[in-house]
Amino acid sequence: MSFTTSQIATIAVVFALAIGAASLSRLLLPNRQTGRSRDRILEGLRGVAAVGVVACHLNQHMVAILGFTEPPLLGNHVGILGVQMFFALTAYLFTRKALAGEIEAGEFYIGRIRRIVPLYTFVCLAGFAIAWFYTRQQTFPLGAMLSDAMNTYLYGFAKNDPIEFRGINMLTLIGIAWTLSYEWIFYILLIPAFSLWRQRGLWRWSLSGVVVVLACRDFMLQSEQIIWPFFLPGVAAALLEEKMPRRIGLLALCLTPIAIWLVFWLPGFWNPTKLLMASIVFFGILFGRPRWLEGRLLQVLGASSFSIYLLQYLVIFVAARVTYGTIGQTTVNRAIAIGSISVVLIVLLAALSYRFIEQRWMTPRSPSPAPAPIPAPGLTAARG
């Protein structure tokens, strides 16, 4: 099997297994009101993006086991495009709310903390437990462990790598959370930016000009690994949504397969060319509205996509240890079997995580109603 074919096969199998596992995880999730067609399409996109990131990381392990020494660029492009879609989705959804005047600063920031921090905290605690399990025969000073634990936990807020705990590189367990630091910055800037945007006139032009100049400057100084501009397609989509003719959306949808093909075969990951391709893909999906993304199982994957995204490294870390065993060797069949089980586990654990962690914190508990007053016996008799 050729290098490219093996990557395509791995990615296809991961998607097939994830969709199959979604039919089981659907039983673990409460019934969801899916809302409008556009919202269902975005939920489906979220599910595809999350599985794409999982496929990317499992593909990296599989090509190494198959003996290939080249970097698995095809699989890496799948995962990075998934992350770029997450960024665009985040920016679109919250920019749309800001434009509609549906965001109040205090509630917004509290809501974001409730949405992200509980699951991230759980993932960190699980990562510490796994690291302890694999180093339980070793002794480490308590002070050093507490310091390393705090430094590791801050990674999801400030991306302060390198991080380790009990001698284990914690990027292998929670490194997927690198995207959270960029999300926090977006949330922090969103409220003041739209306070200026609402001023209209010169303020709008000045704000737009500053963003464009900063993006151009960053790409000119460093043509690769410029992350923050990939929120801009979502911002632009929200601003243009009411003015976007249906035919433009259909045109973008027709261009989407070409853009995806170019994403896979053009060099680089986070550069201006890939920003253009990611914009076409996102605009095509948002405004072209491909109905296949409304599939029920993709809705299930979309609902638990944040858990799929954050939990995957924990499962893959343990799976890699089991795959190689104590002798550091494995077979292709063993790797395929354990990798397949890992995909199913990620999806099922994500459904449990969504139900028992995410949902409980996303919806604030309503205060208990005050007990009804007990009428006096005489009054009751009179009413009777």
Going from the C-alpha of 216 to that of each of 87, 170, 209, the distances in angstroms are: 19, 34, 11
**Domain locations along the chain:** 3-362
Phi-psi region of 55 (alpha: psi -120 to 50; beta: other; left: phi over 0): alpha
Instruction: Give the range among 39-43, 141-145, 192-196 with minimum mean pLDDT.
Output: 192-196
CA distance 298 to 46: 8
Q: Where are the beta strands (DSSP E) in the chain?
A: 164-165, 168-169
Ranges 249-263, 319-333, 366-380: which has the least confidence: 366-380
pLDDT reported for residue 324: 84
pLDDT grade for 32, boundaries at 50, 70 and 90: low
What is the distance between the alpha carbons of residues 287 and 239, in angstroms, rounded to a whole number? 13
Residues 189-218 have a mean pLDDT of: 87
Residue 309: CB partners within 8 Å, gap ≥ 6?
A: 50, 53, 86, 176
pLDDT averaged over the chain? Answer: 90
Residue 234 contacts residue 92 (beta carbons within 8 Å) = yes
Q: CA 305: distance to chain centroid? A: 6
For residue range 83-123, list pLDDT tens digits in order. Answer: 999 999 999 999 999 988 888 999 999 999 999 999 999 99
Interval 314-328 mean pLDDT: 86
pLDDT at 377 over 70: no
d(CA 300, CA 288): 22
pLDDT tens profile 134-172: 999 999 999 999 999 999 999 999 988 789 999 999 999
Q: pLDDT at position 161, please? A: 77
Closest CA relative to residue 87, chosen from 265, 270, 213? 270
**Integer Cα distance of 303 and 40 in angstroms:** 10
Using a cut of 0.85, tell me whether the model's pTM lies above it: yes
Give dist(CA 107, CA 191) in Å, integer. 12
DSSP readout, 105-170?
A: HHHHHHHHHHHHHHHHHHHHHHHHHHHHHHTTTS---HHHHHHHHHHHHTHHHH-----EETTEET
Q: What is the pLDDT of residue 365?
A: 53
According to the model, what pLDDT value does residue 380 have?
A: 39
Minimum mean pLDDT range among 53-67, 151-165, 210-224, 349-363:
210-224
Residue 53, pLDDT > 70, answer: yes
pLDDT tens, position by position, 260-298: 999 998 999 999 999 999 999 999 999 999 999 999 999
Taking the mean position of all CA atoms in its chain, how far away is CA 281? 17
Sign of the four-CA dihedral 189, 191, 196, 200: positive
CA distance 141 to 160: 22
How far is 43 from 293, CA to CA, in rounded Å? 8
Q: How far apart are CA 84 and CA 354, in angstroms?
A: 22
